[in-house]
Structure 1
Amino acid sequence: MVVVAIGTMCLIIALSVFNGLEGLLRSMYGNFDPDVVVFPASGKSFELDSSHIVTLKSIEGVAGVSEVIEDNVLVEYKEAQRLVRMKGVSRDFDEYSGIRNVLVAGDFPLVRDSIGYALVGRGVQYDLSLSLQNDFYTLQMYYPKDIGPGVVNPTRMYNLLNIIPGGIFAIEKYYDDNYIFVPVEFARELLDYGNRLTAFDIYLTEDANPIHVKSDIQSSLGEEFQVKLGEELHGDLYKVLRIEKLFVFIILVAIIGIASINIFFSLTMLVIEKRKDISILFAQGASSTLIRNIFLYEGCIVAFTGAGIGLILGVGISLVQQHFGIVGMGMDSAVLNSYPVQIEILDVLLTVVAIILITFIASIQPAKKASKSFSTQTFQ
């Protein structure tokens, strides 16, 4: 019974931690990624048509559409330089994006009093030794021009624009170390894109069905564009998490299965110990089925009792961690101070069913042995 209880508890806690990690990732990426992304099926950019935005905003469930121009640029601050991923976004990004939830310094939005500002990832800030309190230095951004042969003047080989750093965000290491957000007008001028964009970021209403909206957008824009949900941008990562969760479940169930050998031997010893009692039951007319069921019921009592105790302990510990964060990450730079935990009913049900099934299977052989051996030997 103790083995069953401990196994159930460990399974529920382990699965809840994986659920918490997946929820944490979805929450972090949700502050950066839009609900739906539209980008060209081929090439890096596409020509903006005024009908595109009108069409997108007319689709049911679409709350906002942000124009996006994204590319790699060289950024310089004082004497420091590095390559970053610049993402130019329009005003709908300010209204619907969750980026404001992850600002650790500075202000939002990107355009204030007709002046454009940049939101810089915390990792980029560290590399550039950037200070928001120093108004004398701006971010200098360089982007190479599409020039022909014969140009020898270095200043004609690139575009250069200055922008004031307005805020610092911290989402996740990859984004923090690589991304800078700027107004789309600034990006269009720096990259000399004219009327071209690289993508549309689309934000949905709370009651919208993302899959239906994605289908409507794809049918409206045609095969010239690809449409992806925000979650699909990190589909591989979520898939890896689910595979890891599955393997953890299988490994722990296998360990519990091996530990259930104790139940098998316990019931076998019980059969031997109760030889006389079983013989008396046979003498009084008990059938082999009744004797078998008695020991099966004994195994079920162990299974249900152990699973119940483990369920209470596992859910209880998970709830305590979820609300009070007793077990910490052990890192000062961690996104959360404690391990994230999220209990899902399906995991609890699968765990209980697996534990009961394993214990029941371990009880079958001793029960059969009790019903067969004594029925053929008693009073011969």
Structure 2
Amino acid sequence: MKFETFVALRYLFALRKQSFISVISLFAVCGVALGVGALIVVIGVMNGFSTDLRDKILGVNAHVLVTSIRGGITDYERLAREAAEVPGVTGVTPFVYSEVMLSSRNGVKGVVLRGIDPESSKTVLSLSRDMVNGSILDLDNEEGKPGIIIGSELAKRLGLARGSEVNLLSPSGRSGAAGFTPKVRRFRVAGVFRTGMYEYDSSLGYVTIPAARKLLGFKGDIVSGLEISVNDVYNVDQISKNLRDRIGTFTVYVRNWQEMNANLFAALELEKSAMFIILAMIVLVGSFSIVTTLVMLVMQKTKDIAIFMSLGADESRIRRIFMLQGTFIGLVGTVAGYMIGIPVSLLLKKYQFIKLPSNVYPVDYLPVRLEALDLTVIGLAAFLLCFLATIYPARRAAALNPSDALRYE
């Protein structure tokens, strides 16, 4: 063991004899540990919130949308075949989009209506995995009246269940002598889905594309656009560029999920950075306690420092003794912070005992996601702050004059 390490550890374990300094050291360790633990939990929650929100958005919406400035696409089958041949594309499905009024005996609610193809939508949307009652294949199996799949919050609000009948009022209608008459068609609830996002679960409904065309008064074989899924959501910019080169025209344009939700995820990233800076202040407070501990220790060990210098220890060795001691305190605090933050995060993730109001937040529980990069950055940042806190006391110790120190002892 090196001389500097031996002396630093000896001083560290001897702190229990100096009660006042040992208390300050304990506060330093606790400050660093609480800061690191809080950072791990909060950054884990921010990661979980961002990832969960992204997954829910990309489950209901596609990774890439192909739409037309003319309001509809007629040759969508050709475009779908060409899009499926682009590297990175895993699924393509047509859709029809509109807003209608849904009415039942228990009330009326505005609904975003989406016409889908039950077969091809399985490769693009998460609807089949989000079903809590029924199946998307039941949209085609309903006899007599066409089927509709609605969100769980919408079903709860209007008292609907599988088999219930509802009316859909389309904005397209006819003008007559009595004025404008909206088109009304009766549907049977074929299933209920739940995504966990109140916005979707309370205002979204799915029907088949032919049923949507008939309700909305579309003439001919036309859809609102194509929904496309990709194998790498973070490489969606390059895949979108390839799609634009392949199928993009002056009437058909391509947008991806990052472009459509740029402001939302930029705000989440900004919040994560702000929380990291704010909570790092707790670690900074702990590092100030390390400065106090080392300064008081230097004042108490003046004679020892003078003797070491008289025996031949140079300034760099004296400096390393106190830097190592402060670093050990920071290391213990950082490890203790990991031992606090990681178990708390795992408990939050497993048991989800903190519930959120679903009508206020986009998720109804507190999601947690721990990433190795974030854990590494948190540990390195805490360790760096503790190391920087040792520089001033160590330099003060190395600057002592041995003769002056021994003269006043």
TM over 0.5: yes
Q: How far 1:146 moved relative to its partner?
A: 6.7
Give the 5 Å matches for 1:316-355: 316-323=343-350, 325=351, 327-329=353-355, 339-355=366-382
Structure 2, gaps ≥5 residues long: 1-28
Instruction: Indicate which of 42, 52, 59 corresponds to 1:31.
Output: 59
Q: How far 1:238 moved relative to its partner?
A: 2.3
- Check whether the contact 2:31–2:282 (CA below 8 A) recurs between aligned residues: no
Relative distance call for 1:352 and 1:159 in structure 2 (3 A) is same
Per-residue displacement from partner, 1:173-214 (whole Å, max 9, x unpaired)? 111221111111111111122233222111345899544432
Aligned twin of 2:147: 117
1:77 aligns with 2:104: yes
Relative distance call for 1:110 and 1:202 in structure 2 (3 A) is farther
Give 3-state SS (helix, strand or coil) of 1:108's partner.
Answer: coil
Relative distance call for 1:218 and 1:79 in structure 2 (3 A) is same
Which whole-Å CA distance do the structure 2 matches of 1:326 and 1:57 have between them? 39
Aligned twin of 1:126: 156
1:281 aligns with 2:308: yes
Q: How far 1:126 moved relative to its partner?
A: 3.2
- Check whether the contact 1:75–1:142 (CA below 8 A) recurs between aligned residues: yes
Give 3-state SS (helix, strand or coil) of 1:268's partner.
Answer: helix
Instruction: Indicate which of 6, 9, 17 corresponds to 2:45.
Output: 17
Aligned twin of 1:200: 226
Aligned twin of 1:237: 264
Aligned twin of 2:36: 8
Q: How far 1:133 moved relative to its partner?
A: 4.3
Give 3-state SS (helix, strand or coil) of 1:31's partner.
Answer: helix
- Check whether the contact 1:110–1:119 (CA below 8 A) recurs between aligned residues: no
TM-score normalized by the length of structure 1: 0.87
Which whole-Å CA distance do the structure 1 matches of 2:363 and 2:112 have between them? 26
Which whole-Å CA distance do the structure 2 matches of 1:316 and 1:267 have between them? 31
CA RMSD of aligned residues (A): 2.8
Q: How far 1:351 moved relative to its partner?
A: 0.7
Which whole-Å CA distance do the structure 2 matches of 1:109 and 1:320 have between them? 38
1:189 aligns with 2:209: no
What is the one-letter code of the residue matched to 2:100?
V
Which whole-Å CA distance do the structure 2 matches of 1:83 and 1:296 have between them? 66
- Check whether the contact 2:33–2:333 (CA below 8 A) recurs between aligned residues: yes
1:174 aligns with 2:204: no
Relative distance call for 1:186 and 1:221 in structure 2 (3 A) is same
Give 3-state SS (helix, strand or coil) of 1:72's partner.
Answer: strand
Give the 5 Å matches for 1:28-177: 28-40=56-68, 42-78=69-105, 80-91=107-118, 92-94=120-122, 96-113=124-141, 115=143, 116-134=146-164, 138-145=165-172, 151-154=176-179, 157-171=181-195, 172-177=197-202
Structure 1, gaps ≥5 residues long: none
What is the one-letter code of the residue matched to 1:141?
L
TM-score normalized by the length of structure 2: 0.82
Aligned twin of 1:259: 286
Which whole-Å CA distance do the structure 2 matches of 1:98 and 1:208 have between them? 18
Give 3-state SS (helix, strand or coil) of 1:105's partner.
Answer: strand
Give the 5 Å matches for 1:269-308: 269-308=296-335
Q: How far 1:295 moved relative to its partner?
A: 0.9
Give 3-state SS (helix, strand or coil) of 1:131's partner.
Answer: coil
What is the one-letter code of the residue matched to 2:222?
R
- Check whether the contact 2:53–2:362 (CA below 8 A) recurs between aligned residues: no
- Check whether the contact 1:110–1:183 (CA below 8 A) recurs between aligned residues: no
Which whole-Å CA distance do the structure 2 matches of 1:339 and 1:207 have between them? 23
Q: Report how many aligned residue pairs link the two structures.
A: 372
Relative distance call for 1:36 and 1:4 in structure 2 (3 A) is same
Q: How far 1:263 moved relative to its partner?
A: 0.8
Relative distance call for 1:24 and 1:157 in structure 2 (3 A) is same
* Between 52-61 and 42-51, the greater mean CA deviation after superposition: 42-51
Per-residue displacement from partner, 1:3-35 (whole Å, max 9, x unpaired)? 222221221121112112222223322331223
Which whole-Å CA distance do the structure 2 matches of 1:208 and 1:240 have between them? 18
1:315 aligns with 2:342: yes
Q: How far 1:293 moved relative to its partner?
A: 1.5
Relative distance call for 1:17 and 1:376 in structure 2 (3 A) is farther
Relative distance call for 1:335 and 1:217 in structure 2 (3 A) is closer
Relative distance call for 1:106 and 1:114 in structure 2 (3 A) is closer
Relative distance call for 1:222 and 1:375 in structure 2 (3 A) is farther
Which whole-Å CA distance do the structure 2 matches of 1:4 and 1:285 have between them? 35
Give 3-state SS (helix, strand or coil) of 2:304's partner.
Answer: helix
Give 3-state SS (helix, strand or coil) of 1:132's partner.
Answer: coil
Q: How far 1:265 moved relative to its partner?
A: 0.7
Which whole-Å CA distance do the structure 2 matches of 1:360 and 1:173 have between them? 47
Give 3-state SS (helix, strand or coil) of 1:214's partner.
Answer: helix
What is the one-letter code of the residue matched to 2:90?
A
Give 3-state SS (helix, strand or coil) of 2:189's partner.
Answer: strand
What is the one-letter code of the residue matched to 1:117?
G
What is the one-letter code of the residue matched to 2:354?
G
